[in-house]
Amino acid sequence: MNPSPMDPRPSAKKDRIDSLAETSGRGGTATAVKDVHVGAAGKVKDTGGVSLIASAWARLRRNPVFLLGLAITVVFVLLALFAPLLAPNDPTKRMPELLEDLSRSTNPVPGPEAGFPLGSDDFGRDLLSRLIVGARQTLIVGVFATLFGLAGGIILGTLAGAFGGWVDSLVMRIVDVMLSVPSLLLAVSIAALAPRPSQWTVIIAIAVVQVPIFARLLRGSMLAQRASDHVLAARALGVKQSSIVFRHMLPNSLGPVIVQSTLVLATSIIDAAALSFLGLGNPDDRQPEWGQMLGASQQWIRDYPHLAFYPAACIIVVALGFTLMGESLREALDPKSRR
Protein backbone atom coordinates (compact mmCIF):
# COMPACT_ATOMS: atom_id res chain seq x y z
CA MET A 1 0.00 0.00 0.00
CA ASN A 2 2.93 2.25 0.51
CA PRO A 3 3.44 4.32 -2.65
CA SER A 4 6.82 3.42 -4.00
CA PRO A 5 9.17 6.14 -5.21
CA MET A 6 8.52 4.84 -8.70
CA ASP A 7 4.86 5.76 -8.47
CA PRO A 8 4.28 7.67 -11.70
CA ARG A 9 2.18 10.37 -10.15
CA PRO A 10 1.14 10.92 -6.60
CA SER A 11 -1.58 13.52 -6.36
CA ALA A 12 -0.74 17.04 -7.42
CA LYS A 13 -1.09 18.27 -3.87
CA LYS A 14 1.33 15.60 -2.73
CA ASP A 15 3.45 16.12 -5.77
CA ARG A 16 3.84 19.79 -5.12
CA ILE A 17 4.78 19.09 -1.52
CA ASP A 18 7.25 16.43 -2.56
CA SER A 19 8.93 18.52 -5.20
CA LEU A 20 9.41 21.24 -2.64
CA ALA A 21 10.83 18.66 -0.26
CA GLU A 22 13.40 17.58 -2.83
CA THR A 23 14.94 21.01 -2.92
CA SER A 24 16.50 20.40 0.47
CA GLY A 25 18.16 17.22 -0.72
CA ARG A 26 19.86 18.84 -3.66
CA GLY A 27 20.57 22.35 -2.52
CA GLY A 28 24.08 21.75 -1.26
CA THR A 29 25.31 20.00 -4.35
CA ALA A 30 24.05 22.67 -6.66
CA THR A 31 25.94 25.35 -4.79
CA ALA A 32 29.12 23.37 -5.02
CA VAL A 33 28.76 22.95 -8.76
CA LYS A 34 28.03 26.60 -9.17
CA ASP A 35 31.13 27.59 -7.26
CA VAL A 36 33.34 25.47 -9.45
CA HIS A 37 31.79 27.09 -12.46
CA VAL A 38 32.51 30.56 -11.15
CA GLY A 39 36.04 29.38 -10.55
CA ALA A 40 36.29 28.27 -14.12
CA ALA A 41 35.69 31.82 -15.17
CA GLY A 42 39.17 32.57 -14.02
CA LYS A 43 37.93 35.12 -11.56
CA VAL A 44 40.02 35.46 -8.44
CA LYS A 45 37.27 35.40 -5.91
CA ASP A 46 36.76 33.47 -2.72
CA THR A 47 33.76 31.27 -3.32
CA GLY A 48 34.49 28.67 -0.69
CA GLY A 49 32.28 30.24 1.96
CA VAL A 50 29.17 30.76 -0.15
CA SER A 51 26.43 28.82 1.59
CA LEU A 52 23.06 27.96 0.18
CA ILE A 53 21.45 30.73 2.18
CA ALA A 54 23.99 33.33 1.09
CA SER A 55 23.61 32.49 -2.57
CA ALA A 56 19.82 32.45 -2.24
CA TRP A 57 19.97 35.86 -0.59
CA ALA A 58 22.16 37.20 -3.37
CA ARG A 59 19.45 36.23 -5.84
CA LEU A 60 16.57 37.46 -3.69
CA ARG A 61 18.08 40.87 -3.13
CA ARG A 62 17.57 41.70 -6.79
CA ASN A 63 14.16 40.09 -7.11
CA PRO A 64 11.49 42.81 -7.19
CA VAL A 65 8.76 40.31 -6.39
CA PHE A 66 10.52 39.24 -3.22
CA LEU A 67 11.31 42.79 -2.16
CA LEU A 68 7.67 43.81 -2.54
CA GLY A 69 6.59 40.87 -0.38
CA LEU A 70 9.25 41.64 2.20
CA ALA A 71 8.24 45.31 2.39
CA ILE A 72 4.57 44.43 2.92
CA THR A 73 5.47 41.90 5.58
CA VAL A 74 7.73 44.28 7.47
CA VAL A 75 5.09 47.03 7.48
CA PHE A 76 2.48 44.55 8.64
CA VAL A 77 4.60 43.19 11.49
CA LEU A 78 5.54 46.70 12.63
CA LEU A 79 1.88 47.68 12.53
CA ALA A 80 0.97 44.64 14.59
CA LEU A 81 3.71 45.30 17.16
CA PHE A 82 2.91 48.96 17.68
CA ALA A 83 -0.84 48.77 17.04
CA PRO A 84 -2.01 50.08 20.44
CA LEU A 85 0.30 53.08 20.10
CA LEU A 86 -0.84 53.85 16.57
CA ALA A 87 -4.58 53.44 17.03
CA PRO A 88 -6.16 56.85 17.68
CA ASN A 89 -8.99 55.39 19.77
CA ASP A 90 -9.81 52.42 21.94
CA PRO A 91 -11.02 49.81 19.42
CA THR A 92 -13.44 48.26 21.90
CA LYS A 93 -15.04 51.46 23.19
CA ARG A 94 -18.32 52.65 21.73
CA MET A 95 -17.42 56.25 20.99
CA PRO A 96 -19.99 58.81 22.16
CA GLU A 97 -19.37 60.97 19.09
CA LEU A 98 -20.24 58.05 16.85
CA LEU A 99 -23.10 56.78 18.96
CA GLU A 100 -24.71 60.20 18.58
CA ASP A 101 -25.10 59.58 14.86
CA LEU A 102 -25.90 55.92 15.12
CA SER A 103 -29.48 54.92 14.83
CA ARG A 104 -30.55 51.31 14.41
CA SER A 105 -33.20 52.11 11.88
CA THR A 106 -31.96 55.06 9.83
CA ASN A 107 -28.17 55.13 10.15
CA PRO A 108 -26.81 51.84 11.53
CA VAL A 109 -23.27 52.46 10.28
CA PRO A 110 -22.25 56.13 10.63
CA GLY A 111 -19.83 57.32 7.99
CA PRO A 112 -16.57 59.26 8.33
CA GLU A 113 -16.53 62.35 10.54
CA ALA A 114 -13.94 64.51 12.27
CA GLY A 115 -11.50 62.34 14.21
CA PHE A 116 -12.87 59.16 12.63
CA PRO A 117 -11.57 59.08 9.05
CA LEU A 118 -13.13 55.70 8.26
CA GLY A 119 -16.25 56.21 10.29
CA SER A 120 -17.87 53.79 12.67
CA ASP A 121 -18.68 50.10 12.68
CA ASP A 122 -22.19 48.91 13.45
CA PHE A 123 -21.66 49.39 17.21
CA GLY A 124 -20.32 52.92 17.20
CA ARG A 125 -16.70 51.84 17.50
CA ASP A 126 -13.89 53.52 15.55
CA LEU A 127 -13.33 51.49 12.38
CA LEU A 128 -9.79 52.76 11.79
CA SER A 129 -8.65 51.84 15.28
CA ARG A 130 -10.22 48.44 14.96
CA LEU A 131 -8.38 47.85 11.69
CA ILE A 132 -5.05 48.92 13.16
CA VAL A 133 -5.41 46.82 16.27
CA GLY A 134 -6.79 44.04 14.10
CA ALA A 135 -3.34 43.67 12.55
CA ARG A 136 -2.03 42.29 15.83
CA GLN A 137 -4.79 39.73 16.24
CA THR A 138 -4.47 38.72 12.62
CA LEU A 139 -0.75 38.17 13.03
CA ILE A 140 -1.40 36.12 16.18
CA VAL A 141 -3.89 33.89 14.37
CA GLY A 142 -1.52 33.45 11.43
CA VAL A 143 1.58 32.80 13.49
CA PHE A 144 0.01 30.42 16.00
CA ALA A 145 -1.88 28.47 13.34
CA THR A 146 1.39 28.08 11.45
CA LEU A 147 3.37 27.14 14.55
CA PHE A 148 0.85 24.53 15.70
CA GLY A 149 0.60 23.10 12.21
CA LEU A 150 4.37 23.04 11.98
CA ALA A 151 4.73 21.37 15.38
CA GLY A 152 2.29 18.64 14.44
CA GLY A 153 3.93 18.22 11.06
CA ILE A 154 7.42 18.03 12.55
CA ILE A 155 6.37 15.32 14.97
CA LEU A 156 4.63 13.20 12.33
CA GLY A 157 7.13 13.91 9.58
CA THR A 158 10.16 13.24 11.73
CA LEU A 159 8.67 10.00 12.98
CA ALA A 160 7.97 8.86 9.44
CA GLY A 161 11.14 10.17 7.86
CA ALA A 162 13.51 9.07 10.59
CA PHE A 163 12.24 5.56 11.16
CA GLY A 164 10.77 4.55 7.85
CA GLY A 165 9.20 1.09 7.69
CA TRP A 166 5.77 0.54 9.23
CA VAL A 167 5.88 3.77 11.24
CA ASP A 168 6.30 5.58 7.97
CA SER A 169 3.47 3.62 6.33
CA LEU A 170 1.05 4.24 9.18
CA VAL A 171 1.80 7.94 9.50
CA MET A 172 1.61 8.49 5.77
CA ARG A 173 -1.77 6.71 5.51
CA ILE A 174 -3.20 9.08 8.10
CA VAL A 175 -1.61 12.00 6.30
CA ASP A 176 -3.09 10.85 2.97
CA VAL A 177 -6.56 10.66 4.45
CA MET A 178 -6.23 14.15 5.87
CA LEU A 179 -5.09 15.41 2.49
CA SER A 180 -8.06 13.75 0.80
CA VAL A 181 -10.51 16.05 2.56
CA PRO A 182 -10.56 19.50 0.94
CA SER A 183 -8.65 21.79 3.28
CA LEU A 184 -11.44 24.25 4.01
CA LEU A 185 -13.82 21.37 4.65
CA LEU A 186 -11.35 19.87 7.10
CA ALA A 187 -10.92 23.18 8.91
CA VAL A 188 -14.67 23.66 9.08
CA SER A 189 -15.13 20.12 10.41
CA ILE A 190 -12.55 20.67 13.13
CA ALA A 191 -14.02 24.04 14.03
CA ALA A 192 -17.46 22.47 14.29
CA LEU A 193 -16.17 20.14 17.00
CA ALA A 194 -15.77 23.00 19.44
CA PRO A 195 -18.80 23.49 21.70
CA ARG A 196 -18.07 27.21 21.85
CA PRO A 197 -16.07 28.79 19.04
CA SER A 198 -13.25 31.08 20.13
CA GLN A 199 -10.04 32.47 18.74
CA TRP A 200 -8.24 29.28 19.74
CA THR A 201 -10.69 26.92 18.06
CA VAL A 202 -10.16 28.92 14.88
CA ILE A 203 -6.38 28.68 15.25
CA ILE A 204 -6.48 24.95 15.95
CA ALA A 205 -8.87 24.25 13.07
CA ILE A 206 -6.56 26.03 10.66
CA ALA A 207 -3.45 24.43 12.16
CA VAL A 208 -4.79 20.88 11.79
CA VAL A 209 -5.18 21.42 8.06
CA GLN A 210 -1.49 22.27 7.79
CA VAL A 211 -0.26 19.24 9.74
CA PRO A 212 -0.43 16.73 6.87
CA ILE A 213 1.22 19.18 4.49
CA PHE A 214 4.13 19.85 6.81
CA ALA A 215 4.40 16.17 7.70
CA ARG A 216 4.65 15.10 4.08
CA LEU A 217 7.07 17.87 3.32
CA LEU A 218 9.41 16.98 6.16
CA ARG A 219 9.23 13.28 5.47
CA GLY A 220 10.01 13.88 1.82
CA SER A 221 13.03 16.01 2.47
CA MET A 222 14.25 13.72 5.22
CA LEU A 223 14.02 10.75 2.90
CA ALA A 224 16.02 12.73 0.36
CA GLN A 225 18.50 13.52 3.11
CA ARG A 226 18.67 9.93 4.29
CA ALA A 227 19.93 8.84 0.90
CA SER A 228 22.29 11.78 0.62
CA ASP A 229 26.03 11.41 0.89
CA HIS A 230 26.60 13.41 4.03
CA VAL A 231 24.14 11.35 6.03
CA LEU A 232 25.62 8.14 4.63
CA ALA A 233 29.02 9.44 5.64
CA ALA A 234 27.83 10.24 9.15
CA ARG A 235 26.31 6.78 9.41
CA ALA A 236 29.51 5.16 8.14
CA LEU A 237 31.41 7.05 10.81
CA GLY A 238 29.16 5.48 13.44
CA VAL A 239 27.26 8.60 14.46
CA LYS A 240 24.26 7.78 16.63
CA GLN A 241 20.86 7.61 14.92
CA SER A 242 19.43 10.37 17.11
CA SER A 243 22.27 12.76 16.33
CA ILE A 244 21.98 12.00 12.64
CA VAL A 245 18.30 12.89 12.74
CA PHE A 246 18.61 16.00 14.83
CA ARG A 247 22.00 17.34 13.76
CA HIS A 248 22.07 16.37 10.11
CA MET A 249 18.67 15.53 8.70
CA LEU A 250 16.32 17.93 10.44
CA PRO A 251 18.37 21.13 10.00
CA ASN A 252 18.94 20.38 6.34
CA SER A 253 15.23 19.82 5.79
CA LEU A 254 14.30 23.24 7.07
CA GLY A 255 14.59 25.24 3.84
CA PRO A 256 11.36 23.97 2.29
CA VAL A 257 9.65 24.12 5.67
CA ILE A 258 10.42 27.82 5.95
CA VAL A 259 9.05 28.38 2.46
CA GLN A 260 5.87 26.48 3.26
CA SER A 261 5.46 28.34 6.57
CA THR A 262 5.53 31.67 4.79
CA LEU A 263 2.81 30.47 2.44
CA VAL A 264 0.77 29.02 5.31
CA LEU A 265 0.85 32.37 7.12
CA ALA A 266 -1.06 33.77 4.17
CA THR A 267 -3.58 30.95 3.86
CA SER A 268 -4.32 30.88 7.61
CA ILE A 269 -5.36 34.52 7.53
CA ILE A 270 -7.62 33.84 4.54
CA ASP A 271 -9.00 30.65 6.10
CA ALA A 272 -9.79 32.49 9.33
CA ALA A 273 -11.87 34.88 7.27
CA ALA A 274 -13.64 31.97 5.54
CA LEU A 275 -14.45 30.35 8.90
CA SER A 276 -15.92 33.63 10.13
CA PHE A 277 -17.92 33.90 6.93
CA LEU A 278 -19.37 30.42 7.51
CA GLY A 279 -20.32 31.33 11.07
CA LEU A 280 -17.59 29.24 12.70
CA GLY A 281 -15.22 32.08 13.58
CA ASN A 282 -14.47 33.72 16.87
CA PRO A 283 -17.69 35.48 17.97
CA ASP A 284 -15.92 37.56 20.60
CA ASP A 285 -15.15 40.83 18.83
CA ARG A 286 -13.53 42.66 21.74
CA GLN A 287 -10.24 41.81 20.10
CA PRO A 288 -10.88 42.59 16.45
CA GLU A 289 -9.30 40.44 13.78
CA TRP A 290 -9.55 41.17 10.05
CA GLY A 291 -11.08 37.85 9.06
CA GLN A 292 -13.64 38.23 11.80
CA MET A 293 -14.42 41.80 10.73
CA LEU A 294 -14.82 40.68 7.13
CA GLY A 295 -17.00 37.74 8.11
CA ALA A 296 -19.18 39.92 10.33
CA SER A 297 -19.56 42.58 7.66
CA GLN A 298 -21.59 40.35 5.35
CA GLN A 299 -24.88 41.36 6.95
CA TRP A 300 -24.16 44.96 5.85
CA ILE A 301 -22.62 44.11 2.49
CA ARG A 302 -25.47 45.54 0.40
CA ASP A 303 -25.68 48.95 1.92
CA TYR A 304 -22.34 49.44 3.64
CA PRO A 305 -19.81 47.50 1.54
CA HIS A 306 -16.93 49.56 2.96
CA LEU A 307 -17.23 47.55 6.18
CA ALA A 308 -16.16 44.52 4.16
CA PHE A 309 -13.85 46.39 1.85
CA TYR A 310 -11.35 47.70 4.43
CA PRO A 311 -10.61 44.44 6.26
CA ALA A 312 -10.65 42.58 2.94
CA ALA A 313 -8.11 44.98 1.48
CA CYS A 314 -5.89 44.49 4.54
CA ILE A 315 -6.15 40.71 4.25
CA ILE A 316 -5.43 40.74 0.53
CA VAL A 317 -2.35 42.95 0.88
CA VAL A 318 -0.88 41.00 3.79
CA ALA A 319 -1.66 37.59 2.31
CA LEU A 320 -0.12 38.77 -0.94
CA GLY A 321 2.97 39.94 0.92
CA PHE A 322 3.53 36.56 2.57
CA THR A 323 2.76 34.69 -0.65
CA LEU A 324 5.12 36.77 -2.77
CA MET A 325 7.85 36.24 -0.23
CA GLY A 326 7.20 32.52 0.04
CA GLU A 327 7.03 31.94 -3.70
CA SER A 328 10.23 33.82 -4.41
CA LEU A 329 11.96 32.02 -1.55
CA ARG A 330 10.87 28.75 -3.05
CA GLU A 331 12.23 29.69 -6.42
CA ALA A 332 15.50 30.96 -4.94
CA LEU A 333 16.05 27.77 -2.95
CA ASP A 334 15.16 25.50 -5.84
CA PRO A 335 18.37 24.41 -7.52
CA LYS A 336 16.45 23.64 -10.69
CA SER A 337 15.59 27.27 -11.22
CA ARG A 338 19.04 28.71 -10.70
CA ARG A 339 20.86 29.19 -13.94
**Residue ranges that bind other proteins, judged by CB under 8 A:** 1, 3, 8-9, 11-13, 15, 36-44, 58, 62, 64-65, 68, 173-174, 176-177, 180-185, 188-189, 192-195, 266, 270, 273-274, 277-280, 294, 298, 301-302, 305, 308, 312, 315-317, 319-320, 323-324, 327, 336-337, 339
With respect to other proteins, which residue has the nearer C-beta, 183 or 252?
Answer: 183
Is residue 81 within 8 A of residue 138, CB to CB? The reply is no
Closer of 39 and 84 to other proteins (Cβ): 39
Find the shortest distance in angstroms from Cβ 39 to other proteins. Answer: 3
Provide, rounded to whole angstroms, the least separation between the CB of residue 196 and other proteins: 8
Instruction: Provide, rounded to whole angstroms, the least separation between the CB of residue 75 and other proteins.
Output: 15
Phi and psi at residue 120, in whole multiples of 5°? -110, 165
| Closer of 62 and 286 to other proteins (Cβ) | 62
Q: Give the nearest distance from C-beta 12 to other proteins in angstroms.
A: 4
Of 151, 148, 164, give the one whose Cα is nearest residue 222.
Answer: 164
Q: What is the nearest approach in angstroms of other proteins to the Cβ of residue 104?
A: 24
- The residue among 86 and 278 lying less far from other proteins, judged by its C-beta, is 278
Nearest-approach distance from CB 197 to other proteins, in angstroms: 10
Distance CA 52, CA 334 (A): 10
Residue number, 40 or 114, with CB nearest to other proteins: 40
**Minimum separation from the CB atom of position 337 to other proteins (A):** 7
Q: Closest distance between other proteins and the C-beta of residue 100, in Å?
A: 30
